Chain A
Amino acid sequence: MNDKTEVNDIDRSLHEEKNVEKHRYQSAKGLTPEVIKEISREKDEPEWMLKFRLKALKIYKNKEVPTWGADISDLDMDNIITYVRPDADLQSDWDQVPEEIKDTFDALGIPEAEKESLAGVGAQYDSEVVYHNLKEEMVEQGVIYMDMENAVKQHEDLVKQHFMKLITPNDHKFSALHGAVWSGGSFVYVPAGVDVNIPLQSYFRQNAPGSGQFEHTLIILEEGANAHFIEGCSAPKYSVNNLHAGAVELFINKGAKLRYSTIENWSRNMYNLNTKRALVEEDGVIEWVSGSFGSKVSMLYPMSILKGARARAEFTGVTFAAEGQYLDTGAQVIHDAPDTTSTVNSRSIAKDGGHAYYRGLLKATKNAHGAKASVSCESLMLDNESKSDTLPIMKLQTDDIDVGHEAKVGRISEEAVFYLMSRGISEEEAKAMIVRGFVEPIASELPLEYAVELNNLINLELEGTIG
């Protein structure tokens, strides 16, 4: 180990080509009712949505910035341009997407991904979806997959019934902000008994300096439906601090099953303050797969509310905090019905002074008799500058619950690195091997393509090479 190899950061250049800004419309800095009205007028929304936005704005103005978790004092809320409409209309034909936008998407591999096994692609450029497509057979079965703006108009009743009912503007400052300025995102509706057997994939990204991203994802699975939604994120890097405050609401009805997968790889100036919640009815299943790699600061705690008997939640997450990153993540599960089950499996890695904080919640109400929950969270620090914490909170209001719990924080073992190196393996490959082994219990749960992507991201983080 005498001639030490630098363990470099991921080369982000591929993901960070910014286009020359070219916007049709850009709202004034700072948030006023006038700005909100402009946004709503521009979107040609129904009246109830405008009222909702204005109500949310009022709540936003009155709520304090949370003081626990991440330090977000650097974030200048008034300076965030909340609405940036790209100079492109909604397209479902790839050929008509403007060239410069296409170039960025090409760099992200979106059309390639579609060619493979994706049912539809909703790629969001800035705040609006510019490219949208859903395979015909899905449409025939009554599956709806479209951008939120159009869903508000075309499926008004469905949206009105569910929109921000699970995450309300009253929850916290950023959910209020989201309610006021949300823009873009995906709407998915799967009718009873329909199995969407190919994953639906969506890319959200933002491209304008100082602009926030507030996309709303609403997924409704009727009784016995089955779907897999993949959310992918990558944003170009700018010097101005960027905010992401999206909302994901998932309604999983009786016997339905949803897998919601995310690998977030925001550029390292992003404040990722995203809210995700799933409501699961009787015998329903939510499976979260969550990879948090990017951003400067993340506060992300996907919540599963097990409302119906025998409902089940599974959370599988990997968080990787490198230099300058503070990633505060964790799963929240609320058991509110008999015989509900949950499994939380989280691994976090910190290197080069990165800080990974696991903050989980397991709550069981007195309705939760016969429930079963298991939580395993482990973290690994790759050097002495990095930090890791785990705070798994338990609030159990019933005794009739079976809880298994394991939390471990450790540093990468010099002896283990020496052992692997003594077999000819380089220092960085030895570390990558140990890290891959550390996340193996999680990777082995993932579908193959996803496991490969996870591995690639880990390799990039540890070896500083791309393609």
Chain B
Amino acid sequence: MDKKLLKICNLESKVEEEKILNGINLEVNKGELHIIMGPNGAGKSTLANVLMGHPEHKITNGDIEFEGENINQLAVDKRAKKGIFLSFQYPQEIPGVTVENFLRTAKTAVSGEQQSIFDFKFLLEEKMNLLNIDQSYADRYLNKGFSGGEKKKNEILQMAVLEPKLAILDETDSGLDVDATKTVAEGIKKVASEDNAMIIITHHNKILDYLKPDYVHVLVDGRIAKSGNMELAEEIEREGFAKYKKEVLDESNSKSNC
């Protein structure tokens, strides 16, 4: 089986005429866990949004390949159907639409199989138990009146139900207390397998107490300034991002690598 999942080549993007991504290179294979760290405003959420196909972000250069296919022009819902999932930094509230109805519709769309009400209830119940989410949340309106932490847990619940091949988790650990961080991290671990991959965007190290990444990347000023392993995360915790702001591009990130 081909392990290749995502290949990003020299990706540049702009939003409202402002250039944000500045030549991103990244490869993600099945079974891998990647961490992206970086200061506020570096472009981490932008990268996540561009990968998902956000309409406000325009790709001005470079390529995104998913399972060997260029998806630069692919519509958002089609990307989701291919197995890309984004856990949002700020999930939207959708009044009047219950978590259960929404997720059943989403599961039907993503899997291409009609979800029976009964079977889906069972599936959702199981995943909610896994994440310590009270069953009553199934009947609540999507994210409406949820606390920050509840929204994040709900994102992970959606990931657990939809079972994507590539999950991008944007600041999933921020706003969570110690217990919630642990629950979410354990949820992530349970979903992670040899057949999928995860990119976790964070600027805390808390979640790294529970998850062992294969790669750690530092994203500064719209590009990946350095890639490494767990030691890089530890170094950043000690020293911050200051030295990467001006640092020359890491060799592994030169265009020739694409």
A interface list, Cβ under 8 A from B: 1-4, 413-416, 418-427, 429-430, 433-434, 436-441
Contact = CB atoms under 8 A, between A and B. Distances in A.
Given A419-B88, A424-B106, A424-B110, A436 B77 contact: no
Nearest to B161: A423
B258 interface: no
B54 to A, nearest CB: 6
Contact of B52 (A413, A416, A422, A425): A422
Interface of A is mostly: helix
Given A2-B53, A414-B56, A424-B109, A419 B92 contact: yes
Nearest to A429: B105
A418 B50 CA distance: 12
Nearest to B142: A437
Contacts of A422: 52-53, 76-77, 79-80, 85-86, 88
Interface stretch (B94-102, B190-198, B232-240, B248-256): B94-102
Nearest to A415: B92
A1 B53 contact: yes
Q: B74, B103, B109, B162: which has the most chain A beta carbons within 10 Å?
A: B109
Contacts, number: 93
Interface string B133-167: 00000000100000000000000001000100000
B77 A437 contact: no
Contacts of A425: 77, 80, 105-106, 109
Contacts of B103: 423
A416 B109 contact: no
Given A414-B55, A422-B86, A423-B80, A2 B95 contact: no
Contacts of B110: 423-424
A25 B96 CA distance: 51
B76 A1 contact: yes
Contacts of A1: 53, 55, 75-76
B81 interface: yes
B88 A2 contact: no
Contacts of B52: 418, 422
B interface SS class: mixed
Contacts of B81: 424
B56 A421 contact: no
A414 B56 CA distance: 9
**Interface range, B side:** 20 to 34
Nearest to B97: A437
A439 B95 CA distance: 9
Given A1-B76, A422-B76, A425-B105, A436 B97 contact: yes
Contacts of A439: 96
A446 to B, nearest CB: 14
B94 A420 contact: yes
Contacts of A418: 52, 54-55, 76
Contact of B94 (A421, A426, A433): A433
A-B residue pairs, 10 tightest by C-beta: A437-B96, A440-B96, A424-B109, A423-B106, A424-B80, A424-B110, A421-B76, A419-B92, A437-B97, A1-B55
A421 B75 contact: yes
B92 A413 contact: yes
A441 B105 contact: no
Interface in B57-98: 73-81, 85-86, 88, 91-97
Contact of A426 (B55, B74, B86, B109): B109
A433 B106 CA distance: 11
A434 to B, nearest CB: 6
Contacts of A415: 92
Nearest to B95: A437
A424 B93 CA distance: 17
Contacts of A419: 88, 91-92, 94
Interface in B38-61: 52-56
A440 B80 contact: no
Nearest to A425: B109
Contacts of A433: 94, 97, 102, 105
Given A420-B102, A425-B106, 4 more contacts: A420-B106, A421-B80, A422-B53, A438-B95
A437 to B, nearest CB: 3
A103 B97 CA distance: 39
B47 to A, nearest CB: 15
Nearest to A439: B96
Contact of A441 (B55, B88, B91, B96): B96
B96 A436 contact: yes
7 contacts: A2-B73, A420-B94, A423-B109, A424-B109, A425-B105, A433-B97, A434-B94
Contacts of A437: 94-97, 141
A219 B51 CA distance: 61
A440 B139 CA distance: 13
Contacts of A441: 96
Interface string B104-130: 011001100000000000000000000
A378 to B, nearest CB: 10
A440 B97 CA distance: 8
A418 B94 CA distance: 12
